[in-house]
Chains A and B, each alone.
Chain A
Amino acid sequence: MKLTPKTATLLVLAALVAITPFFFPSGYYYRVGALIFVNGLAVTGIVILTGYAGQVSLGHAGFAGIGGYACALAPVHLGLHPALAVVLGAVMSAALAWLVGRPILRLKGYYLGVASLGMGILISMVLNNERWLTRGPDGIDVPDLGLRGVLKDWGLNLSNGEFWYFFSGIVMILGAWAALNLHQSPTGRALRALHGSEIAARTVGVDVSRLKLQAFVISAVYASVSGSLLALQNKFITPDVAGFMHSIEMVTMAVLGGAGSVLGAIFGAGILTLLPQVLTVFAEYEQMVLGLVMMLVMIFLREGLLPSILRKLRGTGE
């Protein structure tokens, strides 16, 4: 059997999720791992938007904020089960992405970046200021998902850290699977075509603005679900999740690792999630190092880290 890139990617991810825990020196690493997977899910959405469709969003954290606060607010105010709150957040994010994206994506260039930037900051401002609803900058408690209890009843007893590690890992793999399927579908091919040349794609009959809009909406759903997962595993959420810096982090993770491929982007998510953990020793220099890494990778390894490393390993310039 020949290994397609899709199966290969999924196998690598599954192996990564399953095998790494054997090397964890302490329970704390489950938490870091879960964080990487949550970020990995968000950047998979960025791969669809930026890697496939060639559009830039600087406000995706806004969708993560919607997803996160849906989990905090819907169970309390609407009596929804937290799992349904995740769905509600995703639907709201998709609707907002559609509304914002529809007029913008007819335009070329960095307009989507600008519009999404404005949108993201407005969302985070609302989360910060509407204290009666969101309790403002101090953050708000999020109810338990309840799934761990169900698993316990079935005889599968996981610690909180272990549960969220595996659960986030599985959701990330599902997300990657969906993104890879999209990549191979006619829609995915059309998206890549418009990334290559919008005019050429239009000439062969691709509905360019509709496709860009689809990519934007899909990636918003990814960001929203990742925000929900983050809120649920921390049982707490603050407006920072919707902040500008978080949006930048998402794009940077994807582009750093290699936005052209799901594996590359998730690799980038891993690196940038680990970097602050490693750099706590020199917390003073954290910002400088982060900024420097962003610049150096973009200047010298334009396709991103993973594709560049793979190319080195193959030893050819292709």
Chain B
Amino acid sequence: MSELLQFLFSGVTVGAVYALVALGFTIIYNASDVVNFAQGEFVMLGGMATVFAHAAGLPLPLAALVAIVGTAAVGVALNRLAIEPARGAPVVSLIIITIGASIFIRGAAQLVFDKQIHTFPAFSGDDPIRILGATILPQSLWVIAGAVLVFVALWLFFTRTLLGRAVLATSNNRLAAQLVGINTNFVMTLSFALSAGIGALAGVLVTPITLTSYDVGLTLALKGFAAAMLGGMGNPKGALAGGLLLGLLEAMTAGYLSSQYKDAAAFVVILAVLFLMPQGLFGRKSTDRV
């Protein structure tokens, strides 16, 4: 029982991170139909920039803020410099552009930062909390609380504010949104900034647990993408459910089957979802007009 609970804790922690990455995919996909494979690099940037800003003498909260704002700026730059100029390009080209961007960011990070593995102190100490025979790190609670906060804030933003509704309108139908006077270019910029900022926040929260280095982005991007697919691409609720489910699956695979194949869970899930329910758990059925 305590064993299962232990796996649950670690699954939910990792799952919360995947959910945040998947949410980043979802926001950009909704705004621009682009699957942004550079999403994992935002997580890496968040962690690495915090490490270096902290080492440069900034207090941790300020360092984290600098990292998140800086990464959001990188997201905006990615949109302005690489995605917008390629508007209307075929899917292959867009995929290659975002993969190129991810390789570029990784290469730049390796120069600007370094190739070492880094971490910074956990926010509220390293003493594990005991619950029913299982333990959980205080930092895990930070991760989970952070994810919950982001989802609630976004939900409020999308349903209660005019700007949030403008983003939803743009993702529904770009041309129609333009016609009713929504500045869709600004919506795109906002989406990339939000998505990059959320990625960076995930990086800040999880670095004390998983450590970080310049090359952690790719795996996270693939896992987050798997989570988004599992929940149904383009659906924020799906991103949350998909992320948590994937984290739990991984933790259970590692615990009960084989830790070597824990990473395989994500990809087996992708294939199973595609074979059995291509729309994902929460995706809408889409039809084409002729």
Contact = CB atoms under 8 A, between A and B. Distances in A.
Given A100-B271, A251-B92, A299-B82, A117 B104 contact: no
B255 interface: no
A109 interface: yes
**8 tightest A-B CB contacts, nearest first:** A291-B104, A287-B107, A294-B100, A288-B107, A291-B103, A118-B267, A118-B270, A295-B100
B194 interface: no
Interface string A154-172: 0000000000000000000
Contacts of B270: 114-115, 117-118
A118 B103 contact: no
Interface string A259-297: 100000000000000000000000011111111111100
Contacts of A119: 267, 271
B268 interface: yes
A290 B111 CA distance: 15
Given A56-B91, A125-B264, A298-B93, 20 more contacts: A103-B274, A104-B274, A107-B274, A108-B288, A111-B278, A114-B270, A115-B271, A115-B274, A118-B226, A118-B266, A118-B270, A288-B107, A288-B108, A291-B101, A294-B99, A295-B82, A295-B100, A298-B89, A298-B97, A299-B86
Contacts of B218: 244
Interface residues of A: mostly helix, strand, loop or mixed? Answer: helix
Contact of B104 (A50, A54, A284, A287): A287
Contacts of A7: none
Contact of B267 (A107, A121, A286): A121
A110 interface: yes
A78 to B, nearest CB: 26
Given A100-B271, A118-B268, A119-B271, A295 B97 contact: yes
B99 A248 contact: yes
B2 interface: no
A99 B161 CA distance: 47
Contacts of A259: 92
Contacts of B95: 56, 58, 110, 113, 251
A119 B263 CA distance: 13
Interface of A: 50, 54, 56, 58, 100, 103-104, 107-111, 113-115, 117-119, 121-122, 125, 129, 199, 244, 248, 251-252, 255, 259, 284-295, 298-300, 302
Contacts of A248: 99
A57 B44 CA distance: 26
Interface in B232-290: 260-261, 263-264, 266-268, 270-271, 274-275, 278, 288, 290
A93 B78 CA distance: 37
Give the interface size class of chain B. Answer: 35 or more
Query: Which of A50, A119, A122, A300 counts the most chain B CB atoms within 10 A?
Result: A122
B45 interface: no
B229 interface: yes
A285 B222 CA distance: 24
Contacts of A255: 92-93, 96
25 contacts: A56-B91, A56-B95, A100-B271, A114-B229, A115-B271, A118-B270, A118-B274, A119-B271, A121-B263, A122-B271, A248-B99, A251-B95, A255-B96, A284-B111, A287-B110, A289-B107, A290-B104, A291-B100, A291-B101, A291-B105, A292-B104, A294-B100, A298-B86, A299-B82, A302-B86
Contacts of A121: 222, 263-264, 267
A113 B111 CA distance: 31
Contact of A295 (B101, B107, B108, B226): B101
B85 interface: yes
Given A56-B95, A113-B95, A299-B97, A129 B274 contact: no
Interface string B121-155: 00000000000000000000000000000000000
A115 B96 CA distance: 17
B102 interface: yes
Contacts of B85: 299-300
Contacts of B19: none
A292 B100 contact: yes
Contacts of B22: none
Contacts of B226: 118
Contacts of B107: 285-291
Given A129-B261, A199-B290, A287-B104, A302 B274 contact: no
Given A121-B267, A288-B107, A291-B100, A50 B92 contact: yes
Contacts of B225: 114
Contacts of B275: 103-104
Contacts of B23: none
Contacts of B103: 287-288, 290-291, 294
B97 A287 contact: no
Contact of B100 (A111, A125, A286, A298): A298
